Structure 1
Amino acid sequence: MAHPTGIHPTPLAALLARERDRYTAARPLSQALAQRTNAHLLYGVPLHWMTDWGTPFPLFVEQARGARFRDADGHEYVDFCLGDTGAMFGHAPKDVAAAVNRQSQLGFTTMLPGEDAARVGELLAERFGLPFWQFAMTATDANRFVIRWARAVTGRTKVLVFNGCYHGTADDVFVDLVDGVPTQRDSLLGQAYNLNDHTVVVEFNDLAALEAALAQGNVACMLAEPVMTNIGMVLPQPGFWATACSLIREAGSLLVCDETHTISTGPAGYAKAYGLEPDFFVLGKPIGGGIPCAVYGFSAELAQRMQAAKSAAPPGHSGIGTTLTANALAMAAIRATLEGVMTDAAYAHMINLATQLAAGLRGLIKQYGLEWCVSQVGARTEFQFCAQPPQNGTEASLAMDHELEHALHLYLLNRGVLITPFHNMLLVCPDTTTQDVEKLLTILGQALAELTGPSYV
């Protein structure tokens, strides 16, 4: 019987078992490190989700530079995961490494600004078109802070998100539609209050549902990626964002664009490229070239409302900001990234290679008779196990097949190519080459040839 993905379960199970054995045999030092870390790290890793890769035990990295890294056993890899966008401009970009090196001799953190802060503000305003900025350690924190600001300036409590969204671990976003019913995610640990009291969820591309949700008059902000990315890529339908932006403004709500992943679109992100004009703009991960930091920008009018809200509140902690936010190393890294790494030339190279990659993936899918699709947002490419690009989070979730993902990812990994573990996302960076793309396509083609052999058609 045909499988929904077009891949028969029998060769899939055999390939996955063989590749797990191959992985184990080739990595005794990673296995020894995994056994060692099990003694003191929960799940044997610094963060529990690091076990979500399709490997028998974690892969331990020794060095990463440009588009490549080396593991503890000395194996070299071409990296198309790139820290799930954290290293979108390559590992340890030279300009960033030099800036952090210099700053490390001058101090790490003082809770006070330096000259880099002034320059970074100018660079952010020039690039993204929003005049005012604040900082965070991660995009999660930035999203959390922006939600707090939005509630403060609007006097409203509700946050509106799209089904299947990803905005880091900001508490308010973990609500999905299950059979059309807003439901707090069962996977969310330790949640002490009902998120449904303050979070509204609708499907991406559903303007009628969006309009109905906004009509209640209690939505402080719509927090959204302009293209959904973490559940597999979901592109906006033509005209969706133009209408959505109008609806949000008419309702007196604020639009927050989280561009932590969609900065792959171009030097100023998706919103600038497609004229979205968000009230808040959030960017984490790659903005510091891999150094932990994030930024959020906003309009002059909104800045006045934020200052008024802060002035009207009693003295004390605002709930916004952390001690290490905007530390000297982070500010030096952001400046170096904006000045010398996130360049037009870098994006031209990346987008050209990603376009070649997307075309190659479509060619393989056609060659092996699979009903899969490919989407691209600038330097970011995704293949999904469905014939047509999904229109919302529900469709994207239904297209996932974790066993098939693990098998393909592990097959690639065992032959020196890494892609993102949680779905089929591929990034290229300024150091990625045409030969790297060809290597990925060749190896993926070999895997598909095995999985679609004549015995299983």
Structure 2
Amino acid sequence: MDFALNNDKAAGPAAAVDRLIDAEQARFAATHPRSAEAWARGRQHFLYGGPSHWMRRWAGGFPVYVEKAEGCHVRDIDGHDYVDFCLGDTGGMCGHAPEAVTRAATEQLRRGTTHMMPTEDSLWVGEELARRFGLPYWTLTTSATDANRGAIRIARMITGRDKVLVFSGCYHGGIDEAHVELHEGRMRMRNMIHPNGVDHARVSTVVQFNDVAALEAALAPGDVACVLMEPLMTNFGMIPVADGFHQAVRAATRRTGTLLVIDETHTISCGPGGYTRLHGLEPDIFVAGKAIAGGIPAGIFGLDEAIAARLWDVVPHVNPRQRQSSHFGIGGTLAGNALTIATMRAVLEEILTPRNYENMIARAGELADAARAVIARHALPWHVTQIGARAEIMFTPVPPRNAAEVAATRRGDLETLLHAFYMNEGILVTPFHTMFLMCPATTPADVARHAGVFERFAAMARAQGVA
């Protein structure tokens, strides 16, 4: 690509970035006519253009329409091939169309998809979830959002408390209690989410990640039912956890009678048992989703022995003399359906294996090392974080400790430029920030392709004075 564009550095870096974004979006529109036409057609009948309003958030100005996806590659309807490091924002962490999932799904479709009764595969899945993640009792949902809702409801039922504590910058799906952030020391709605009639002062509290003193102060009144957290933050730019923070959280929650819910929907990329098993964490409730069934919608939550016993005191086991057992307010007729169970078994048995994790983490390390080399070569004030099979490029010199530091240093315009440039160069990354995820099919050649594209982007940013 020719970077010798009219340079308007005198107008400032922001104007230069805007000009470059306009150029990349024009290039994208010129080379993706069929996707542009499809997007115009979709806007006639979908509320926000696509089947999900999230699909409008790609930086090209409109999304690509997918013809086929396999492994870590996507081909769009205009005939372009992409190396996919977004992987459905983790939903495709097993890779697109993995053979084991395709086989299991096809076989189960022939035997029936959903009937609100268990299959024998569910016995294996329950035993494997307990073995992997270290909690004995499990429930399946149709998404991690629903799993988090179940965890929160259980926490309220057995503690008698209303509040949920989250960390500023978090994302835990469509959970109203988590749609808050700290701004100048006060709680407000996050990410332009519209208020929805929820009294957040009554049901939510929010502190900065890695801030032990703030956490302890928030828990001290004894009105928080649970802390809902990722082991490290992955939705506002990756924020590593400080030494000793997990131990402090666990000690403070136990001291105040607060349940600890760890949401590993993203951090399950750290290993077969997630970050929790890898680092010996001790959640009361463990949540995961997206990747766990190979792209079939699913979520899971597991309870430790003591929490399960407390729940059974409130909602007893089935009484055989009753025609209908007690209900604790969550669920759905599709939860734990036979298709999900079959694909989940395939994922746990054949795809998310120690060997595949080893390869995925190695590819993430290669991508991170190559990106650091590019940054150093161009003397750019950027950094790269790698944790497990994920890596992130952030346009700040050092990793942030919390969301306030991200907000103070974030270059949203530069992220948009990178995403648009990447799409034109055949690379897909998470569109909300610059996070890369590996799948078992990601190869060194795929990683090398990214290194070349990032080299060209860094050269452009340096030459145009926008870094």
TM norm structure 1 = 0.95
| Residues 81, 426 of structure 2: 8 Å contact kept | yes
Structure 2 CA distance for partners of 1:426 and 1:455, relative to 1, 3 Å: closer
State the one-letter code of the partner of 1:293. A
Matching of residue 360 in structure 1 with residue 370 in structure 2: yes
> Which has the larger displacement, 13-22 or 254-263?
13-22
Asked if the contact 1:259–1:282 (Cα under 8 Å) also holds between the matched residues in 2, the reply is: yes
Q: 1:21-420 residue pairs with structure 2 within 5 A?
A: 21-185=26-190, 187-189=192-194, 191-311=196-316, 317-420=327-430
- The answer to which of 227-236 and 307-316 deviates more is 307-316
Change (3 A) 1:417 1:456: closer
Q: Which residue of 2 aligns with 1:4?
A: none
Q: CA RMSD in A?
A: 1.8
**Amino acid corresponding to residue 300 of structure 1 in structure 2:** E
Whichever residue aligns with residue 361 of structure 2, its letter is I
Supply the distance in 2 between the matched residues of 1:456 and 1:407 (Cα, whole angstroms).
10
- Partners of 1:8 and 1:452 within 8 A in 2: no
Aligned equivalents of 1:382, 1:308: Cα separation in 2? 44
Deviation at 1:312, TM superposition (A): 10
How many angstroms apart in 1 are the aligned matches of 2:316 and 2:466? Answer: 69
Secondary structure, counterpart of 1:229 in structure 2: coil
8 A Cα contact 1:163 1:201, kept in partner: yes
Contact 1:184 1:196 in 2 (8 A): no
Checking the alignment, whether the CA contact within 8 Å between 1:133 and 1:295 is kept in structure 2 is yes
| Aligned equivalents of 1:447, 1:258: Cα separation in 2 | 34
Task: Structure 2: give runs of 5+ residues left out of the alignment.
Answer: 1-11, 319-323
Q: Distance in 2 between matches of 1:185 and 1:379?
A: 27
Q: Distance in 2 between matches of 1:8 and 1:368?
A: 17
CA–CA distance in structure 2, aligned partners of residues 428 and 118 of structure 1: 30
Partners of 1:350 and 1:428 within 8 A in 2 = yes
1:233·1:396 contact (CA, 8 Å) conserved in 2?
no
Question: Which residue in 2 is equivalent to 1:3?
Answer: none
Instruction: Report the alpha carbon displacement of residue 245 of structure 1 after superposing the two structures with TM.
Output: 0.8
Residues in 1 aligned to 2:33 and 2:39: alpha-carbon distance in whole angstroms: 10
Q: Paired residue for 2:5? A: none
Which letter maps to 2:457? Answer: A
Deviation sequence 1:65-101 (CA, Å, 0-9, x none): 1010110111111101111111112112111110001
- The offset of 1:11, in angstroms, is 4.1
- Amino acid in structure 2 at the alignment position of 1:403: D
Q: Does 1:448 align with 2:453?
A: no
The Cα of 1:423 is off from its aligned counterpart by 0.2
Residue 391 of structure 1 deviates from its aligned partner by 0.4
Give the conservation status (yes or no) of the 8 Å contact 2:315–2:326.
no
Distance in 2, Cα, partners of 1:274 & 1:95: 29
TM-score normalized by the length of structure 2: 0.93
- Deviation of 1:397 after TM superposition, in Å, equals 2.5
Give the distance between the partners of 1:216 and 1:454, measured in 2 at CA.
53
Q: 1:395 to 1:90 in 2, by over 3 A?
A: same
CA distance in 1, matches of 2:74, 2:97: 11
Structure 1 runs not aligned, ≥5 long: 1-6
Deviation at 1:10, TM superposition (A): 4.8
Amino acid at match of 1:387: P
Distance 2:466 2:70 in 1: 41
Give distance in 2, aligned partners of 1:362 and 1:34.
36
- Supply the AA of the counterpart residue of 2:400: P
Compared CA separation, residues 125 and 186, structure 1 to 2 (3 A) = closer
Counterpart-to-counterpart distance in 2, 1:266 and 1:318: 32
Q: CA deviation at 1:320?
A: 0.7
Give the Cα separation in 1 of the matches to 2:78 and 2:151: 43
Once the two structures are aligned, what percentage of the paired residues are identical? 46
CA distance in 2, matches of 1:220, 1:456: 46
1:311 is paired with a residue whose SS is: coil
State the AA in 1 paired with 2:313: A
Counterpart selection for 1:427 from 415, 434, 437: 437
SS of residue paired to 2:441: coil
- Distance in 2 separating the partners of 1:200 and 1:345: 40
* Whole-angstrom CA distance in 2 between matches of 1:233 and 1:75: 29
Distance of 1:118 and 1:326 partners within structure 2: 12
- Contact kept, 8 Å, 2:230 with 2:263, in 1: the verdict is yes
Partner of 2:102: helix, strand, or coil? helix
Matched-pair contact (CA < 8 Å) for 1:11–1:451 = no
Query: In structure 1, how many angstroms separate the alpha carbons of the residues matched to 2:42 and 2:465?
Result: 43
**Superposed displacement of residue 189, structure 1:** 3.1
Counterpart of 2:8? none
Whole-angstrom distance in 2 between the partners of 1:325 and 1:344 = 27
Question: Is the CA contact 2:101–2:346 (under 8 Å) kept in the aligned structure 1?
Answer: yes
SS in 2 for 1:414: helix
Q: Distance in 2 between matches of 1:57 and 1:154?
A: 46
Question: 1:332 is aligned with what amino acid?
Answer: A
C-alpha contact 1:374 1:384 (8 A) present in aligned 2 = yes
